[in-house]
Amino acid sequence: NVLGSQNFAAVHNSSALGTDSSSGLLLANNDNSVGAVSPPIFFSAKSTSNLFNSAYASIYGVKTGNGADTNWSAGGLVFATSSSSGANERMRITSGGFVGIGKTPTAKLDILGSSATPLIMQLTTENTNCDITMASYYSTTATRLRTSGSDFQVHTNGTQRMRITSGGNVAIPNDSGSFSGGASLILTKKSGVPYIQYQYSGASPSFRLEMDEYVTAGNVRQYFTQTNGGVSNGFSMTFNTGSVIF
């Protein structure tokens, strides 16, 4: 019996499937307990001996809550595949619309990987860029994580704000969005030593490293300044008591 045993009502409006909105295939289990499983839809192929049809995948429903006699019950949908020794649940859609891969989900998308191997989620595109976009339903702006093939970028409000290069440098652009030649900041290493590289191509380039300390009298600002203007190719250290020029 392809549609199930005597406990399974096979077809609703069986005179014609699909003639109106109430027609369709009904796979029913007369068990009304929570956790009852519907008759599965099996996918099969000939076995090694070519004598039997062996199932390798199935889809079935699971009742997860009771409903009124005139209404639907709560339930989910399970997708299972076999690795040659029986069916294994691979993905589940809950009554709340959550999707779980490898587990019963507690979020809109919930994935559990095997403890034996790292969990890898791979996104591949034939386009130059591959993005993960995060946005609120109530907002027109979005935060985007992007790779252009060799670097990793962070975008907010439609603009790239930070980049990790293929060489491992962290770059922050200038006010015009440029990452080179005009007030861009690069966190990198030279000969194994971490350092901050500041690039500026303006007429009066300068760089300032500022440290603020809050005290009861207010903010005490101390900073180092490198400039090619007022202090020719040198540094000045400014404290709350004044400046020292090198």
Q: Tens digit of pLDDT for each residue in 45-56?
A: 988 888 888 899
Q: Of residues 202 and 169, which shows the higher confidence score? A: 169
Instruction: Please report, rounded to a whole number, the percentage of residues in the chain having pLDDT higher than 90.
Output: 30
- The candidate with the shortest Cα–Cα distance to 101, out of 87, 113, 111, 115, is 111
How far, in Å, are 52, 130, 160, 165, 240 from residue 124 at the CA level? 39, 7, 21, 19, 54
When pLDDT is cut at 50, 70 and 90, the band that residue 231 belongs to is very low
Task: Give the model confidence (pLDDT) of 176-221 as tens digits.
Answer: 777 765 445 676 666 777 667 665 555 555 565 555 554 445 555 5
Looking at residue 25, what is its pLDDT? 80
Answer yes or no: are the C-beta atoms of 153 and 162 closer than 8 Å.
Answer: yes
Tell me the C-alpha distance between 245 and 123, whole Å: 53
Please identify which residue in the block is written with the tokens 């996104």. Answer: 123
Q: Of residues 231 and 192, which shows the higher confidence score? A: 192
The CB density around residue 144, as the number of other CB atoms within 10 Å, is: 19
33, pLDDT greater than 70: yes
Buried b (16+ CB within 10 A) or exposed e, 59-79: ebbbbbeeeeeeeebebbebe
Longest CA–CA separation in the chain, Å: 95
Looking at residue 75, what is its pLDDT? 94
